[in-house]
């Protein structure tokens, strides 16, 4: 891969879940979660096409530990679609925690895609709910717009960024993760597992400084 990657007209920046609850002071804070914002702002200014995702859970969501008496955050349970991590209540619809960061400067984003709003299904990927059968519609949107190379940034690297990038690759898109524009939860080695899994499906890891200006 060249030292600097030119940004083409068919490229899109996918900014995943840069929301208050995933940053310091939130309900599910990632260490340094707020530090991705200036990196993403700088990146977004270079892209013509930007899509944002937003975790958007109803109260009492199945993935919340509080919905399962006797369970604690980060326990796991088995559900119809497999193993589910139980999370602290977070990104509940119409709460401040669910809002995108106010210092995120992406006024030209053409789409804000909400996910995780089905009460009984969690949604890490921007492409599919966790049952791996319910699409979000992002694949069709990108295909209709002629966008086929996806640069991915955001929170959390080892969950929503990872699964979004893997699904992008499986759907035939070229996917690149901008490592310094992400932060991980790192739950029992999940960050290292994400790096290995992304590499195994051909998703490249790049630095924000390696992503150049628009090539026209």
Q: Exposed, middle or buried: residue 117 (CB in 10 Å: 0-12, 13-18, 19+)?
A: middle
Task: Give the active site residue among 23, 91, 160, 182.
Answer: 160
Rounded Cα distance between 82 and 34, Å, is 31
83: three-class secondary structure by DSSP: strand
In which residue are the tokens 């083409």 written?
8
What is the Cα–Cα distance from 128 to 214, expressed in whole angstroms? Answer: 29
The answer for residues whose C-beta is within 8 angstroms of residue 196's C-beta and 6 or more apart is none
Burial of 158 (0-12, 13-18, 19+ CB in 10 A): buried
Q: Is 115 an active-site residue?
A: yes
23 included as an active-site residue: no
Pick the catalytic residue from 17, 34, 122, 158. 17
Set 11, 55, 115, 182: catalytic member: 115
Name the nearest CA neighbour of 111 among 137, 133, 146.
Answer: 137
CB count within 10 Å of CB 114 equals 16
Please give the positions annotated as active site.
17, 115, 160
């Amino acid at each position: 891969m060249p030292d600097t990657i030119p940004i083409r007209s068919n490229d899109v920046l996918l900014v995943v879940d840069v929301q208050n609850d995933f940053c310091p002071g939130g309900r599910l804070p990632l260490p340094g979660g707020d530090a991705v914002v200036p990196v993403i702002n700088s990146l977004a200014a270079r892209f013509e096409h930007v899509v944002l995702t937003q975790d958007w859970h109803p109260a009492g969501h199945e993935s919340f530990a509080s919905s399962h008496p006797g369970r604690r955050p980060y326990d796991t349970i088995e559900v119809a679609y497999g193993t589910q991590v139980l999370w602290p209540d977070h990104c509940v619809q119409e709460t401040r925690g669910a809002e995108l960061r106010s210092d995120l400067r992406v006024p030209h984003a053409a789409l804000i895609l909400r996910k995780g709003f089905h009460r009984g299904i969690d949604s890490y990927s921007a492409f599919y709910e966790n049952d791996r059968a319910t699409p979000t519609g992002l694949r069709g949107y990108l295909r209709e717009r002629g966008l086929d190379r996806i640069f991915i940034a955001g929170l959390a690297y080892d969950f929503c960024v990872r699964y979004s990038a893997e699904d992008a690759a499986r759907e035939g898109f070229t996917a690149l993760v901008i490592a310094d524009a992400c932060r991980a939860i790192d739950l029992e080695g999940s960050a290292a597992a994400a790096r290995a899994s992304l590499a195994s499906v051909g998703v490249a890891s790049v630095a924000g400084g390696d992503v150049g200006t628009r090539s026209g």
